Amino acid sequence: MGILNLIRCVRRHARKSLLLISLIILVLDVAFVALNYHSSRNALLNTLSKRAQDHQNEFGIMLEMTYTNMMQMAKFISNDHELNQLFLQGKKAVEASGTLTGGANAQRTRQQLLKQVKPAWDQLTAEFNVRQLHYHLGPGSLSFLRVHAPDKYGDRMDDLRHTIVDTNADKTPHTGFETGRIYGGLRAVTPIWAQNPDNGENTHVGALEVGTSFDLILPMFENFYAVDTVVLLTQDHIESRMWPEFVNKFFSDNPDMQYYLESASSPEARRNIPRVLQQIGVNSGFSTQHAQLLELDGRHISVYYFPLRDYRGEQNHDMPPAGFVLMWEDVTLLVEELRTSVWANIVYALIGFILIEIILVWTFNRELRLVVAEREATRDGLTGLYNRRFFDQVLHCELTTAIRSGREVSLLVCDIDQFKLYNDNYGHQQGDMCLQRVAVCLERNLGRNIDWVARYGGEEFVVVLPDTDLAGALHVGERLRQAVMDLDITHIESKVAPVVTLSIGAASSTENADPKGLFECADRKLYRAKKNGSNRVEG
């Protein structure tokens, strides 16, 4: 009996040891599954946040392209001598009459101007996402002719159209979003000059505005990126600008909304706004660093928002944002992939620890693909140069390093002269080839490994020159300008030269060490190069 008792004791302890080991393995497996789930969910949330920030950057690029296109249209029309002379006649008639509308003489001139410009404008509105063409007299903003609404004129908008007021004041182009008495709009404004027959002098007449709305561009953004997008304005912002009857009617018709809906990318997005807002917390500054994962109609959506500043807010960041842009996208497939991964890991844990290595390899490969994808995201798809997102990020680092080391960084902003005419004449395929050749040319002619070039957007490129003063930047700019001319790309429509040419603005960190300020400084000089005849370098 003693031996039997000993055997039973050993078996009993063996079972306990096996149970203990099994329990330890189970705890380790559960801990592994829990850890993997937590890691995968964080990776998903980080991926969603990165995608959301990419969409924010893409939205910004879309706005910049919209402003650029509208400004090109405005400058194209403002260069018409005959139209400018009619506008000058209208200005004289208004001044002579002493009234805002200008009387009979101004009306006759207004009708002549409308007759001349409307056919071309109708074609532009049919082919491009624009809706307004508006002639304004200065100082301030006095409406002379709304080509899109010719029966409405003679009203002043000095307290609302600050893009117009500033253009008439400083005689330089301005762009931005502004809220009017009835609705808001994206505006590009350029000054108009005409030769005064009375004294032969080039006289500033007023400003020309080309405008569009988010209603025209948000649907395209949704179609391209599959992201529902809405623009919401604060009640304080619209009450200080819009007529009260429109504000009151909106909120009475939409009792669940605490923000004014400026635009939505689709009717479905418009319907879902209240439900999305109910599930997220919008902070007062409308700024967030992370996407939020919600459920909507049985689907998983990733929600993100960022502040929207109007024209005055862009000039003065002490002003509160006009509102915010709210985006969400369906990420159900990604969430389902996460759940599938968790269940697969449970099965793998039950089978044995041997599969842990496989899972780690899979995770490593997945993270590697994300790194590769992130690297590819820094390159422009057409030219292979760095893209604007990379430029914005790295320029800050270059300037910070330069300031710490007491050195200079210079920036070149380059723009292909009259590229729209090139596209119109040769087609977009040849236009893309032209951009590619110019990009290769710029990159090959930089001269140093530390210098780098990026495509900023459209036909515009930026060149960053570390450890280079303004004189050196001008030298490099001239070399690049000549190299592009030496490509000998035929451009028969160009008013500058029979070949494709480049205008360049150069600026140094000694002039402005802030990334945005440095770019704006170089961009102003680019504008001066354009104004002085193009195919030149200004510093």
Catalytic positions: 459
Calculated CA dihedral for residues 415, 419, 420, 422, nearest 10 degrees: 180
CA atoms within 13 A on the CB side of 156: 8
Quote the longest CA-to-CA distance of the chain: 132
CA distances (Å), 161 to each of 125, 188, 512, in order? 22, 11, 29
- Other CB atoms closer than 10 Å to residue 376's CB: what's the count? 9
CA distances (Å), 524 to each of 3, 208, 209, 458, 504, in order? 100, 20, 20, 18, 10
Please provide residue 474's backbone torsions phi and psi, each rounded to the nearest 5 degrees: -65, -40
DSSP conformational letter for 79:
T
* Residue in the structure block whose two tokens are 């290595």: 357
Collapsing DSSP to helix, strand or coil, 123 comes out as helix
- Other CB atoms closer than 10 Å to residue 124's CB: what's the count? 17
CA angle, residues 388, 394, 395, in degrees to nearest 5: 85
Collapsing DSSP to helix, strand or coil, 172 comes out as coil
* Residue in the structure block whose two tokens are 């006759």: 108
Q: Determine the residue type at 440.
A: V
Report how far residue 160's alpha carbon sits from residue 437's, in angstroms, rounded to the nearest whole number: 44
Report how far residue 15's alpha carbon sits from residue 12's, in angstroms, rounded to the nearest whole number: 5
> Cβ(300)–Cβ(332) under 8 Å?
yes
H/E element, 192: strand 184-195
